[in-house]
Amino acid sequence: MISNQNRFGRRGFTSNSPSSTSVANYGNSAMSRGTFMRGLGLAGAGVAAGMMGLSGVARAQAVEPYTVTATGVSPTDASNVQAAVDNPNYNPVYLAPGPNGEPFNFGTYDSVRIKTKDVEIIGLGNDAAGDPLTIINGGISSISCYILPEENYNKVNLKVRNIHLDGALYEAIFIWHSSGAEITGCKITNVIAYESFSCPILVMGIYGGDITGNILIQGNNIDPGVDNYAQQNGIFLWGTNATATITGNTVRNFSGIGIFCDNNQGFTTISNNKVYMDTGGGYGIKVGEYSCGIIHGIYQGSAIVTGNEIHSAYPWADGICLDGGHQLDDAVFIVSHNYVNMTNTYGGVRCDGVHNSIWESNTIAGNMHYAIWVAELDVVVRGVPYNFPALNNVFKGNNVNAANNDWATAILYYGANYNTLIGNFNKSVYDIGIGNYITGYTKKPFGPQVGQAIKDALARKHALMKPTSQ
């Protein structure tokens, strides 16, 4: 993981970078009166406010909606939007296509940054196919909400609705140090890294961290695309302390992870999402070839993963992964009623270093090494090795009848102790752990040849999970 400090540095938010120049000047940009006139047809005071623009004319302090119309020119478009979201009297801010349907043009390094107030940014309707009519082309972290350490601002809340963001650098939407976030009904395509770095580059459709309050990521269509300089990910949340809901999204055509949520201290719900790891996902990616549909890391918070569909034809992919660690004893984790369909891939679902989780009524189908994997988690943190066994997890009522596995349908590997595995199809299981209760599965002998094959495959996979530049 690239640190927050390094991520800012790589974006070039310094006095010498083109992005710094554009961001710093947004608040001081002059704005034409006609820029905001088109859009939702706001009447009365709203239209009068638009005619006055932001030129310093005395006005009432009531908060009112405002419409920004695209010009198709960079950096004018980002400057106009930035001035609107910075104005304390405007909220929500609507973004409308230009008179001839022009999209907003954010060039290569333009960005809109929310830092001084709560803001809602809304696109103007959908086309017949259901895609947002408002389009933002380009930009670096095109819509962002973050506060630098030297800035003395309180956390703010950002809502983004109904906007198509295409061709952003690094992230389409970036939220860090926020009091809440809602990203709904957006379309995100072609997120790129732009240039090769000596360190791994992760790019995300939506990236959030250090968020409190509530997080809602709902009904978005995310297609990061494939970039030879980066590992594309769909939704990426890390280090939050919020009630997080990720629901009803579609994520496809990525080379890394579809939905990733790690170290949320609040309650997380990941539900009714559709995740497609396409056949080309990962090939040619310089920072590694490991993919997974949904990963959730468990530390202090609880979570439920339910009703999701994961499809993959990528050879090193897993469908759903739970990673444990310093998990609190009262944390609750439930994985239920998910459909995982894997075609010639690595595995179905994984439970590494987790305790007290419940996996129930999931369907796992297709051709893979295993359908269910349970094992200890070995990690090194700041040079200190840690070993977290997988304890007291329950697997019951899972439909693995259509899972074809060349190793075994279920593998309870080293460090998988005192777990419960209940099946109905008499499928095969390797049990290398201690004290596991198993019924409805047939135990297979675990010989040295099988052990070496698994060991070699794990070494290859772990190498891919720690990407390095080629």
> Per-residue pLDDT tens for 154-164?
889 999 999 99
Task: Please give the tally of structural domains in the chain.
Answer: 1
Are the beta carbons of 214 and 180 closer than 8 angstroms?
A: yes
Are the beta carbons of 70 and 105 closer than 8 angstroms?
A: yes
Model confidence at 15, pLDDT cuts 50, 70, 90, reads very low
Q: Among 58-62, 63-67, 176-180, where is mean pLDDT lowest?
A: 58-62
Residue 283 has pLDDT above 50, yes or no: no
Residue 460 lies in a domain: yes
Residue 79 lies in a domain: no
The pLDDT mean for the chain works out to: 81
Tokens matching residue 265? 């201290």
CA torsion angle for 327, 333, 339, 343 (degrees, to 10)? 10
Q: Which amino acid is at 16?
A: N
Q: What is the pLDDT of residue 117?
A: 93
Residues whose CB is less than 8 angstroms from the CB of residue 173 and which lie 6 or more positions away in sequence, other chains included: 141, 142, 143, 144, 160, 165, 183, 186, 188, 205, 206, 207
Q: What is the pLDDT of residue 180?
A: 96
Q: Is the dihedral of CA 15, 17, 18, 20 positive or negative?
A: negative
Mean pLDDT of 313-341: 86
Model confidence at 464, pLDDT cuts 50, 70, 90, reads low
Residues whose CB is less than 8 angstroms from the CB of residue 459 and which lie 6 or more positions away in sequence, other chains included: none
> What is the rounded CA–CA span in Å between residue 326 and residue 386?
10
Residue 135 lies in a domain: no
Residue 47 has pLDDT above 70, yes or no: no
Q: What is the pTM of this model?
A: 0.83
Secondary element (H or E) of residue 158: strand 156-161
**pLDDT tens figures, 435-451:** 999 999 999 988 777 77
- Residue 374 belongs to what domain range? 190-465
Residues whose CB is less than 8 angstroms from the CB of residue 346 and which lie 6 or more positions away in sequence, other chains included: 315, 316, 317, 318, 368, 369, 457, 461
Range among 1-15, 98-112, 213-227, 326-340 rated most confident: 98-112
- In the chain, the percentage of residues whose pLDDT exceeds 90 is 56
* 296: β partners: 261, 322
Q: How far is the CA of 356 from the CAs of 410, 418, 463, in angstroms?
A: 18, 10, 29
Q: What is the pLDDT of residue 231?
A: 76
Q: What is the pLDDT of residue 461?
A: 65
Residue 151 lies in a domain: no
> What is the rounded CA–CA span in Å between residue 276 and residue 452?
31
Q: What is the pLDDT of residue 45?
A: 35
> What is the rounded CA–CA span in Å between residue 58 and residue 44?
17
Helix H segments across 194-316?
A: none
Residue 420 lies in a domain: yes
**pLDDT tens figures, 119-150:** 999 999 999 999 999 999 999 999 999 888 78
Q: What is the pLDDT of residue 90?
A: 96
Q: What is the pLDDT of residue 206?
A: 96
If one counts every other C-beta atom within 10 angstroms of the C-beta of residue 255, the result is: 29
Q: What is the pLDDT of residue 285?
A: 26
Model confidence at 226, pLDDT cuts 50, 70, 90, reads low
Q: What is the pLDDT of residue 228?
A: 62
> What is the rounded CA–CA span in Å between residue 5 and residue 24?
19
Query: 18-25 and 76-86 helices cross at what angle (nearest 10)?
Result: 50
> What is the rounded CA–CA span in Å between residue 459 and residue 267?
33
Residue 71 lies in a domain: no
Residue 246 has pLDDT above 90, yes or no: yes
Residue 227 has pLDDT above 50, yes or no: yes
Residue 328 lies in a domain: yes
Residue 377 has pLDDT above 90, yes or no: no
Model confidence at 256, pLDDT cuts 50, 70, 90, reads confident
Model confidence at 381, pLDDT cuts 50, 70, 90, reads confident
Residue 155 lies in a domain: no
Residues whose CB is less than 8 angstroms from the CB of residue 452 and which lie 6 or more positions away in sequence, other chains included: none
Q: What is the pLDDT of residue 112?
A: 97
Pairing of strands 384-388, 377-381: antiparallel
Model confidence at 194, pLDDT cuts 50, 70, 90, reads low
Mean pLDDT of 34-56: 34
Are the beta carbons of 353 and 390 closer than 8 angstroms?
A: yes
